[in-house]
């Protein structure tokens, strides 16, 4: 029985024997008497708190229970067990699952009860309570309470309203900080800030200010502004405002320290009035630098105002020691006149932190470029290269190419820490560094840091295997996950060939381990469960390793590794004993995100079979639709809460099933989202609510809280976004009247506004609109917004005189670097003529960025390709880094142009293969170019070549595929299984796979997972021969690749066992080829039906399971039913 339930029953029962002697209130201590009377009036929370306070200062004697029951008898209050159960059930339900009711009850507590509640809820010390023969582990009870977002909101609100009246201000600040750590964004809304005390002791105010500074990034822009207003109000009370006139400011150095990051909300005119003495005092304080390092959202105007006051206060901002104190203010440094090179270098050194700023990166890069020119006065780039900090990222490829290997070698300590490199730059610098070092060794590689990714695949493969093993084990291992799949494969193949692979496997951690092929795992020995804890596994690896390790390890040791849960089959779950399953289910709960929908479905059925009262409520959504009928009344809240903490697509890949679950959620909410408590309860579910429900069933109060949650949603439909937009317009009014903060808070949803409304916002807040647009991405989702951004940026620079590059460009305004950087995806709106007129230097500096624009059409890509020829010379002269820097621009190359390129490097091919829009003839040209330039044939390709070729492999013919070496194919097969090749190509890959793993009918679950889409090349007879239990182990992408005429060969039993995820991947054309029996089986799979047991063949039998008493593994009081068992004996949130 739960501890909370025990303590409540302590108040009302223990001895049911008749008590015949008289009992008066004088026999009970006053506080205990008060608690008993509160039980009689059903004020259970009050009674519980009084009892807790009583026992904290009194010894519990054996006769007290007798006295309590005697008093009940004397008051002629006769409790029956049944009535007690009903009362307690109702009370506990309200306590844990009705946070609004809890708020009401908390507000009615007297001061002593409130103090007791705060003591037991927020005291960090472990509390162990004993009352008679009842022991209460309060820590577990408290943990359960804090798991509910609604209860946390209640605790926040009640603390805000009552705490400062009942406890010391410092205690209340500590309590607020604990509650706010749970979800500051949702709780700290602007309207709530008004409830903060406007009079606080100095220490309490400072402490609370620190809390708000720590939570700055977790709160909305409007909340940040409101919190600044609250802090300003209290700080101003420290002064006699009548002493200040319009030319002076209330802001002192101490105020600036207290405000911290909130100084960005000071009005510009207020900054310009701050006393120079106070500014001098502030900037001389060592912590001021740390504070100024965190003002990520400061604007250029505010930063320059601070710089002006600092300079006027006696600090020379051209002095190096002052520059080091300026924090992020250096990003907006002004006044380049007569600056010497040393100051420029000092500024550049400090500007390495400027990439943390929100926006203004184009202006910052322009400033760095200016400082770079000053720093290089009377010196060569080779001389000062190591002292330029991250300004080197702004150098063009031709500038980097001009560097000597010695200069790069001498600067490596700086270069290896710089972020923001593009691939071509890394390739150039790595090549320069290694050409100086001559020999590629572990020591040399360990010095490279982020530049490690520029080492060619062939260079890795040429290294000494022992040196490679050191790279895997050493500090450089943190960069291995940044290598391309081809580079990773090159390292693995060399180590595997050395015969020392077994020992190396133990040292390969993280995502790099996923690149080891299944066939290579088969060859190694010495695995144990402990070595799996720091590795990421593909599902094929996990299936093999779990089966292998289970022979010598306890299941609990395997499950505790985390990643190995991916390898737990349905058969293993079904074979677990009841006790073992219930005791180890926590490992599945903790790693739910690692499980497949099929595994989750198996878990749900296992719970249902062994203890239907124990099933976590959200798993009811995984079972067939009829099981949702049991979600009603008291089960609604735990059902929604637990669903909201999981990923809906993991539970229900089928759209129909998902819609049915959402319908149940809407029923549970009584058809509406009324306030912030409903938003808390919904959690991630809010991302899946249908547009019609958002339109008519969500209150504005709820919308204010839900906005942040909506911004986190990854896959909102256009209709959902449209309804959210209408709600936001209803909430905030016309965009004409929006503030900067509201615009920031609305964020990506401004993309849904009308063009006129966007124009108004762009005119008022151009920098904010630019910042939002950069975060949105593809043009398809925000064409109007990106168009507005383009017009806004173009208008800003329209008066700049263009530099004419040819007579054809007379009257044409060509793009500038600043514009290209600002526009990002909005560069798509440049005309072909404007792109043609781009300056050569501008193109060379921005080619990588232009190559990422997804919306460029073929005409734009062609003109950019021609520009590349103009800048870099003829195609045979292009280096690998030139080709790599093109991105999508490379798609404009014709097959004849591709033939002219130097494609000897698999790393060049690896980058080209990432483009998904190649025609078959282009892909063949790339393949032939690689083979010819590298001097290879298909039969000599290594596994890393195959991995680097990627999608280009889809252009192979059947003869070429069959000439691939089996050993190399087996090492690369998992990567090849990610490709979406044509059916004839997949059939040839299938034949190659059989040479590695044997005939198709012998394949097991781990092989099916390993080969991915290659399984789409199976023929009709092979597909029919698969055991139905293997059907869930086809990868979902493989299901889609099976031709409809082949797919129809599956038996109804095979289709029924596809599992929910694979069933959801069946295409319309595949469905059209199925008969009625097969379609019925497909629906069973979509529903998550358990086809292998007789229980699910009869709806009545499953109903009986739900209504049977809970098994002994889940102790419950008879009569309380499933809900109470679920609340008090289970771990509801997965």
DSSP 43-110: -HHHHHHHHHHHHHHS---THHHHHHHHHHHHTT----HHHHHHHHHHHHHHHHH-HHHHHHHHHT--
Mutual angle of helices 81-97 and 44-57, in 10-degree steps: 90
Rounded Cα distance, 873 and 898, in Å: 15
pLDDT of 9:
45
How many residues belong to the chain?
Answer: 1134
* Alpha carbon separation from 378 to 335, 382, 576, 794 (Å, rounded): 21, 12, 77, 36
pLDDT for the residue 7: 47
What is the pLDDT at residue 128?
58
CA neighbor of 1103 nearest in space, from 1122, 1075, 1086, 1125: 1122
Give the position of tokens 């124990």.
Answer: 614
Distance between CA atoms of 67 and 983, rounded to whole angstroms? 83
Q: Nearest Cα to 54, choosing from 75, 42, 74, 68?
A: 68
Most distant CA pair in the chain, distance: 115
The shares of helix, strand and coil residues in the chain, as percent rounded to the nearest 5, are 70, 0, 30
Radius of gyration of the chain (CA): 34
Q: Say if CB 4 and CB 1129 are below 8 A apart.
A: no
What is the rounded CA–CA span in Å between residue 647 and residue 592?
Answer: 9
3-state secondary structure 101-133: HHHHHHHCCCHHHHHHHHHHHHCCCCCEEEECC
Torsion of Cα atoms, 544 then 547 then 552 then 556, to 10° = 110
CA torsion, ordered 920, 921, 923, 928, to nearest 10 deg:
140
CB-neighbour burial class of residue 194 (10 A; exposed 0-12, middle 13-18, buried 19+): exposed
Q: Distance between CA atoms of 243 and 908, rounded to whole angstroms?
A: 70
Query: Which pLDDT value is given to residue 21?
Result: 39
Q: How far apart are CA 773 and CA 157, in angstroms?
A: 36
What is the per-residue pLDDT for 248?
A: 83
| 746: its two tokens | 């609305």
Token pair, residue 647, equals 């990923």
Number of Cβ atoms within 10 Å of the Cβ of 742: 20
Q: Name which of 992, 905, 960, 920 is nearest 486 in CA terms.
A: 905
Q: How many CB atoms lie within 10 A of CB 558?
A: 20
List of residues 6+ apart from 198 with CB closer than 8 A: 230, 233, 234, 237
pTM, rounded to two decimals:
0.88
**pLDDT for residue 1102:** 32
What is the mean pLDDT for each group of 10 consecutive residues in the chain (1134 residues)? 44 38 65 85 84 81 76 73 61 78 90 89 68 60 80 90 88 89 82 89 91 92 96 85 70 93 95 94 89 94 95 90 93 87 91 90 91 88 89 90 94 89 94 90 90 94 90 83 94 86 82 92 86 91 95 91 94 93 90 94 93 86 91 88 88 89 94 94 94 93 93 91 94 95 95 94 94 78 89 79 69 90 94 94 95 95 97 95 97 97 97 95 97 96 97 96 96 97 97 96 96 97 95 97 97 96 96 96 93 41 31 30 31 30
Number of H helices, E strands in the chain: 71, 2
- What is the phi/psi pair of residue 367, to 5°? -65, -45
Q: H/E/C letters for each residue in 1087-1111?
A: HCCCCCCHHHHCHHHHHHHHHCCCC
Cα(448)–Cα(483) distance, rounded to whole angstroms?
Answer: 13
Per the CB < 8 A criterion, the answer to whether 184 and 208 are in contact is: no
């Amino acid at each position: 029985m739960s501890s909370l339930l025990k303590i409540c029953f302590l108040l009302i029962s223990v001895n049911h024997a008749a008590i015949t002697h008289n009992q008066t209130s004088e026999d009970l201590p006053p506080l205990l008497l008060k608690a008993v009377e509160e039980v009689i009036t059903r004020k259970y929370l009050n009674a519980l708190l009084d009892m807790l306070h009583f026992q904290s200062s009194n010894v519990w004697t054996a006769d007290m229970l007798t006295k309590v029951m005697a008093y009940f008898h004397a008051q002629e209050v006769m409790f029956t067990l049944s009535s007690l159960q009903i009362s307690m059930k109702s009370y506990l339900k309200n306590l844990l699952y009705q946070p609004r009711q809890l708020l009401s009850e908390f507000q009615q507590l007297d001061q002593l009860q409130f103090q007791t509640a705060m003591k037991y809820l927020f005291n960090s010390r472990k509390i162990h309570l004993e009352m008679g023969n009842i022991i209460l582990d309060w820590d577990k009870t408290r943990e359960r309470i804090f798991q509910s977002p609604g209860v946390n909101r209640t605790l926040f609100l009640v603390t805000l309203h009552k705490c400062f009246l009942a406890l010391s201000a410092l205690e209340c600040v500590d309590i607020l900080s604990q509650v706010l750590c749970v979800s500051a964004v949702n709780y700290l809304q602007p309207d709530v800030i008004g409830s903060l005390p406007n009079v606080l002791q100095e220490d309490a105010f400072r402490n609370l200010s620190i809390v708000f500074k720590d939570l700055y990034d977790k709160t909305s822009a409007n909340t940040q502004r409101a919190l600044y207003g609250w802090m300003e109000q209290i700080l101003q009370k420290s002064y006699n405002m009548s002493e200040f006139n319009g030319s002076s400011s209330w802001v002192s150095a101490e105020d600036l320290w207290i405000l911290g990051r909130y100084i960005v909300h000071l009005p510009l005119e207020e900054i310009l009035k701050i006393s120079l003495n106070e500014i001098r005092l502030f900037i001389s304080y060592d912590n001021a630098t740390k504070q100024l390092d965190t003002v990520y959202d400061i604007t250029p105007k505010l930063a320059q105002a601070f710089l002006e006051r600092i300079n006027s206060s006696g600090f020379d901002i051209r002095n190096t020691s002052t520059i080091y104190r300026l924090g992020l203010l250096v990003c907006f440094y002004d006044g380049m006149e007569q600056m010497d090179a040393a100051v420029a270098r000092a500024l550049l050194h400090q500007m390495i932190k400027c990439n943390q700023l929100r926006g203004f990166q184009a202006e910052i890069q322009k400033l760095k470029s200016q400082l770079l020119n000053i720093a290089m006065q009377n010196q060569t780039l080779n001389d000062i290269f190591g002292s330029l900090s991250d300004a080197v990222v702004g150098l063009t490829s031709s500038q980097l190419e001009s560097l000597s290997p010695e200069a790069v070698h001498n600067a490596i300590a700086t270069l290896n820490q710089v972020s923001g490199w593009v691939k071509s730059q890394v390739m150039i610098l790595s090549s320069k560094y290694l050409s100086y070092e001559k020999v590629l060794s572990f020591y040399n590689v360990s010095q490279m840091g982020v530049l490690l990714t520029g080492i060619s695949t062939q260079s890795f493969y040429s290294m000494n295997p022992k040196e490679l093993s050191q790279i895997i084990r050493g500090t450089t291992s943190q960069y291995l996950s940044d290598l391309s799949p081809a580079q990773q494969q090159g390292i693995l193949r060399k180590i595997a060939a050395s015969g020392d692979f077994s020992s190396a496997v133990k040292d390969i951690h993280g995502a790099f381990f996923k690149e080891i092929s299944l066939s290579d795992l088969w060859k190694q020995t010495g695995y144990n469960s402990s070595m799996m804890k720091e590795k990421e596994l593909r599902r094929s690896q996990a299936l093999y390793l779990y089966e292998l390790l289970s022979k010598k390890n306890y299941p609990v040791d395997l499950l505790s590794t985390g990643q190995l849960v991916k390898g737990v089959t349905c058969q293993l779950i079904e074979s677990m004993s009841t006790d073992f399953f219930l005791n180890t289910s926590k490992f599945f709960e903790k790693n739910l995100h690692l499980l497949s929908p099929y595994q989750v479905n198996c878990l749900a059925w296992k719970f249902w079979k062994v203890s239907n009262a124990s099933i976590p409520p959200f798993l009811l959504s995984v079972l067939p639709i009829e099981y949702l009928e049991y979600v009603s009344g008291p089960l609604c809240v735990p059902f929604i809460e637990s669903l909201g903490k999981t990923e809906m697509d993991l539970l229900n890949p089928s759209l129909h099933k998902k819609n049915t679950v959402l319908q149940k959620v809407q029923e549970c909410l009584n058809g509406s989202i009324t306030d912030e408590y409903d938003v808390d309860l919904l959690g991630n579910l809010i991302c899946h609510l249908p547009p019609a429900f958002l339109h008519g069933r969500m209150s504005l109060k709820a919308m204010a809280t839900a906005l942040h949650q909506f911004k986190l949603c990854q896959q909102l439909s256009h209709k959902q976004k449209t309804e959210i937009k209408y709600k936001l317009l209803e909430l905030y009014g016309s965009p004409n009247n929006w503030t900067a903060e509201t615009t920031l808070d609305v964020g990506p949803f401004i993309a849904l506004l009308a063009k006129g409304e966007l124009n108004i916002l762009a005119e008022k807040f151009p920098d904010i609109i630019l910042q939002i647009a950069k975060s949105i991405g593809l043009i398809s989702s925000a064409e109007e917004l990106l168009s507005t951004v383009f017009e806004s940026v173009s208008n800003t620079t329209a008066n700049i005189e263009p530099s004419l590059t040819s007579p054809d460009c007379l009257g044409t305004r060509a793009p500038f670097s600043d514009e290209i950087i600002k526009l990002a995806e909005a560069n798509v709106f440049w005309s072909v003529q404007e792109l043609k007129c781009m300056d050569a230097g501008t193109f060379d500096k921005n080619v990588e960025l232009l190559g990422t624009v997804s919306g460029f059409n073929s005409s734009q890509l062609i003109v950019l390709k021609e520009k590349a020829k103009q800048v870099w010379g003829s195609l045979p002269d292009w280096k690998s880094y030139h080709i790599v820097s093109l991105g999508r621009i490379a798609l404009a190359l014709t097959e004849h142009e591709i033939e002219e390129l130097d494609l000897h490097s698999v790393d060049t091919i690896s980058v080209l293969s990432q483009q998904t829009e190649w025609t078959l003839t282009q892909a063949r040209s790339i393949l032939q170019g690689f083979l010819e330039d590298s001097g290879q044939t298909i039969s000599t390709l290594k596994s890393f070549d195959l991995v680097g070729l990627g999608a280009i492999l889809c252009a192979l013919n059947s003869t070429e595929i069959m000439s691939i070496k089996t050993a190399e194919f087996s090492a690369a097969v998992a990567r090849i299984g990610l490709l979406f090749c044509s059916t004839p190509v997949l059939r040839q890959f299938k034949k190659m796979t059989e040479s590695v793993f044997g005939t198709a009918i012998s394949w097991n679950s781990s092989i099916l997972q390993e080969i991915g889409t290659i399984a789409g090349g199976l023929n009709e007879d092979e597909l029919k021969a698969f055991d139905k239990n293997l059907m869930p182990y086809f990868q979902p992408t493989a299901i889609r690749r099976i031709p409809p005429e082949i797919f129809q060969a599956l038996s109804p039993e095979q289709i029924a066992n596809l599992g929910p995820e694979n069933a959801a991947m069946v295409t319309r054309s595949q469905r059209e080829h199925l008969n009625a029996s097969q379609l019925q089986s497909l629906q069973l799979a979509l529903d998550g039906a358990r086809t292998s047991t007789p229980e699910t063949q009869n709806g009545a039998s499953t109903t009986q399971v739900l209504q049977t008493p809970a098994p002994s593994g889940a102790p419950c009081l008879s009569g309380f039913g499933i809900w109470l068992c679920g609340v008090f004996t289970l771990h509801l949130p997965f």
